[in-house]
Chains A and B, each alone.
Chain A
Amino acid sequence: MLDTIALARTMRQEIIKMLTASASGHPGGSLSATDFLAVLYGEFMNVDPAEPRKADRDRFVLTKGHAAPALYAILALKGFFPMEELANLRKLGSPLQGHPDMHKVPGVDASTGSLGQGLSLACGMALAAKMDGQDYRVYALMGDGEQQEGQVWEAAMFAAHYKLDNLVILLDHNHLQIDGNIADVLNPDPLDEKYRAFGWNVIQIDGHDHEQIRTALAQAREVKGQPTVIIGETVKGKGVSFMENQAGWHGKAPNAEQSAQALAELEG
């Protein structure tokens, strides 16, 4: 089994490096979602880099598409494409678009970027598995600010109504959005009560604790008849002291000096 702690550390370093190289991108929400992705891809996702489109693979939808750097980091580390490609993030002609493009990057199951649309896509994938008697699972990583989009709740109703127990939301609850604290901008909390009322199995964890993520993902597999949301309490910018809990680092790349400091901190 891969050491997911080491995997997450390497992912964070690659995120900083690629954002620095592109001088553009979203560090805060990439770093807060890193641990979810490290455990999911490290231990749970049934995917094969040699055959990225195989029909019975597990699906992943990065519904908060701006966390693309975190997804690109884990896909490269898993061998879906060469690590050197990461330096081309957001550059003209690069497959690594600012938001993930399924037709350009092996391992990306859905093109996303417009918030609130990914959960519906994930519902369709989960429903297709049910129709076809397949047992693959579908994971959707969402932001907490994203919960303000109305379509999310249409999809939440849909998933529970159609008993999509093969669907799991990983909810990156980092409490910040571009304009500030989510509670000040437009409070989506209490998310646990909302999802419970919508008919979901709700698990609340520390979104940076790998053992808790692992346990939650394993537990979600056992639930029958309802979808699961794993609400992870996270820190935006996690792992880089000057980025942590700073809304200003939502969509800004570090300069060379900041990058060096971030990488030094992540080396631990």
Chain B
Amino acid sequence: MEEKKNLATREAYGLTLAALAEENDKIVVLDADLAGSTQTAKFAKAAPERFVDCGIAEQDMVGVACGLASCGKTAFLSSFAVFATGRAFEQIRNSVCYGKYNVKVAATHAGITVGEDGGTHQSILDVSLMRSLPGMTVICPADATCTEWAVRAAAELNGPVYLRLGRLAAPAVYEAGQEFTLGKGQLLRTGSDIAIFASGLMVSQALEAAELLAAEGVKAAVVDIHTIKPLDTELVCSLAERCGAVLTVEEHSIIGGLGSAVAETLMEAGISAAFQRVGMKDTFGQSGSPAALLKYYGLDAESIANQAKATLARKK
């Protein structure tokens, strides 16, 4: 699996789908005219008779996926995250989730690292929307290895799943063959000063931030929360309690996403900690290179390290 190093999670998604095309004849894949971008074209090539291009009609695509699922198919549908979860939200609510269909919403181009396309195409609310749906599992893998697991886990789980995937090449966080468990966070770095919970592309940024912090004598723990729902509340609580300071990092609005999920968990558990959400601060994005955008919105390693230090300063 050496070739998977630093692949975009969308590419790993397409490669895994193509492998599953051979292994599982129940899998069907739908796309809305973005097969090249979402990488579902790889599945289309492997199993054209089980690939359905729905055209630029996301709402219909969601319903067609449900109809296929009701007849025994495992349906993966893909588009850009902003359209899949926003344009077709009510279809995902009332058709997919209310109907408890075996449909996987695998959305690519999530977050601001879509880059130059700008604010209309940068999906920063999707986790919030998908997390609120009863019965929906939400997974946001950090790299190619985690993505391969996530796609396979989604295929095996009988019910709705949201897979949040990115456009940008994601630095490899895991060795090939790494094992994951749905709903269990991955402790990637131990530390006792501050706990950093991150998801998706932000995991590699958080690890880099932890290195910067270590150079200044700050011991930061870093956890990959690949499954945002159901959240690993046990790990979140125990680590927050031990560190007394918590930073959440997500390529998403600070409203309703990973940060909110962690905050809800800690408040209900009665755990008091210096707490900061790092993410898009109730604002839309804009055009720019991914690197420039990450820096501008405070989502690069250096900004994350700075926000960790500011949070530590508030620690009691």
B68 touches which one: A110, A113, A118, A127 (CB < 8 A)? A127
Pick the most buried of B67, B90, B95, B98: most chain A CB atoms within 10 A of its CB: B67
Task: Write the nearest CB–CB distance from A94 to chain B, whole angstroms.
Answer: 17
Chain B positions within 8 Å of A123 at CB level: 60, 63-64, 67
Chain A positions within 8 Å of B161 at CB level: none
Interface of A: prevailing SS: helix
Pick the most buried of A59, A117, A121, A154: most chain B CB atoms within 10 A of its CB: A121
Output the nearest chain B residue to A149 by Cβ-Cβ distance. B59
Given the known inter-chain contacts A55-B72, A128-B73, A151-B91, please indicate yes or no for A158 contacting B98, CB distance below 8 A.
Answer: no
Q: Any chain B CB within 8 A of the CB of A103?
A: yes
B70 x A120 contact (CB < 8 A): no
A127 x B55 contact (CB < 8 A): no
* Alpha-carbon gap, A103 to B159, bound state (A): 13
A114 x B90 contact (CB < 8 A): yes
* Alpha-carbon gap, A55 to B71, bound state (A): 7
Pick the most buried of A59, A124, A129: most chain B CB atoms within 10 A of its CB: A124
Task: Write the nearest CB–CB distance from A181 to chain B, whole angstroms.
Answer: 26
Contact with B along A95-125 (1 / 0, CB 8 A): 0000001110000011101100111111111
A131 x B59 contact (CB < 8 A): no
Q: Which of B90-115 contact A (CB under 8 A)?
A: 90-91, 94-95, 98-100
Q: Could you write out 10 A-B pairs with CB less than 8 Å apart?
A: A114-B94, A114-B95, A120-B62, A123-B64, A128-B71, A154-B54, A157-B60, A158-B57, A158-B60, A161-B55
- For this complex, into which size category does the number of interface residues on chain B fall? 20 to 34
Chain B positions within 8 Å of A120 at CB level: 59-64, 66-67, 91, 95
Chain A positions within 8 Å of B94 at CB level: 111, 113-114, 117
Task: Write the nearest CB–CB distance from B96 to chain A, whole angstroms.
Answer: 10
B99 touches which one: A102, A127, A131 (CB < 8 A)? A102
> Hey, which bits of chain A sit against chain B, CB under 8 A?
55, 59, 101-103, 109-111, 113-114, 117-129, 131-132, 150-151, 154-155, 157-158, 161-162
Chain A positions within 8 Å of B61 at CB level: 120
B55 x A117 contact (CB < 8 A): no
For the complex of A and B, list the 8 residue pairs with the smallest distance between their C-beta atoms, beginning with the closest: A124-B67, A120-B63, A128-B71, A154-B60, A154-B57, A124-B64, A125-B67, A114-B94
Output the nearest chain B residue to A114 by Cβ-Cβ distance. B94
Chain A positions within 8 Å of B59 at CB level: 117, 120, 150-151, 154
B71 touches which one: A103, A118, A129, A154 (CB < 8 A)? A129
Chain B positions within 8 Å of A124 at CB level: 63-71, 75
Q: Any chain A CB within 8 A of the CB of B52?
A: yes
* Alpha-carbon gap, A125 to B95, bound state (A): 13
Chain A positions within 8 Å of B309 at CB level: none
